[in-house]
Amino acid sequence: MDIKKLQSLVVDALEDVKGQDIALFDTTNLTSLFDRIAVVSGTSNRQTKALAASVRDKVKEAGGDIIGMEGEDTGEWVLVDLGDMIVHIMQPAIRQYYRLEEIWGEKPVKLGAAKRKSSTEALEADALPKTKSKHLAANQDQPEVKPVRERKPAAAKKAAAAPAAKKAVAKKIPTGTTVRVAVPKAAAADAAAAKAAKAATTKRLTQAAAAPAAAADAAPAKKVIRRVVKKTAD
């Protein structure tokens, strides 16, 4: 039996009995004894035995071979040997203890690929129109979206038009015309401060030069007294 068909039958049989945490691995690169290994959990001895029986019956109905079955007496770990595929049906505690996924899980097989049908059935399924669920927002009909044109405020329009107007005025000035450029406020303030400082310095110098003359004018005049000696007659 084709390995893809065999793995599809096994997965279907395990899902029919509500097998938990079904895992399928490709072991062709690890061993030459079998090509696939399946691991599944059963919550009780009764469910593990039912899972093994479901796999056995489904493969037999499809014409496959059952090489052997082990562990049915206890039900904690039931192994179904299908030749090209080995199925391990384990209770959760046993599965966690032995960790078969770490040994054989180098190349996992997706369950969607494992359940893929034959080519004829697949072509027929692809030919059918696919229905979309209306519960999902992505599948609902979306209204046509029209572009929205934002209107700029009048102030923004004037601000945008101002540079263009300035450029237009600048272009109209004839070549060679002398244009006065306004002095920046900072430069004008510096010039005024320098002028004021110069005037204050000049004033101080003038006052210092005039101080001695004023002091001289203010001093009292000195009187010179001359003594006159009279000559006596002999």
Alpha carbons 164 and 215: distance in angstroms, whole number: 70
Quick one: average pLDDT of 10-19? Answer: 94
**CATH code for the domain in which residue 35 is found:** 3.30.460.10
For residue 38, give the DSSP letter.
E
Residue 208 included in any domain: no
Residue 20 included in any domain: yes
Residue 148 included in any domain: no
Overall number of domains in the chain: 1
- Which pTM does this prediction carry? 0.50
Q: Give the domain extent around 103.
A: 3-114
- What pLDDT shows up at residue 125? 47
- What pLDDT shows up at residue 198? 81
List CB contacts of 50: < 8 A, sequence separation 6 or more: 17, 42
* 138-174: pLDDT as tens digits: 555 566 666 666 665 665 556 665 555 555 444 555 6
- Tokens 């279907």, located at residue: 12
Q: Indicate the residue type of 1.
A: M
Alpha carbons 136 and 159: distance in angstroms, whole number: 48
Residue 136 included in any domain: no
- What pLDDT shows up at residue 10? 95
Residue 194 included in any domain: no
Residue 77 included in any domain: yes
Residue 146 included in any domain: no
Residue 30 included in any domain: yes
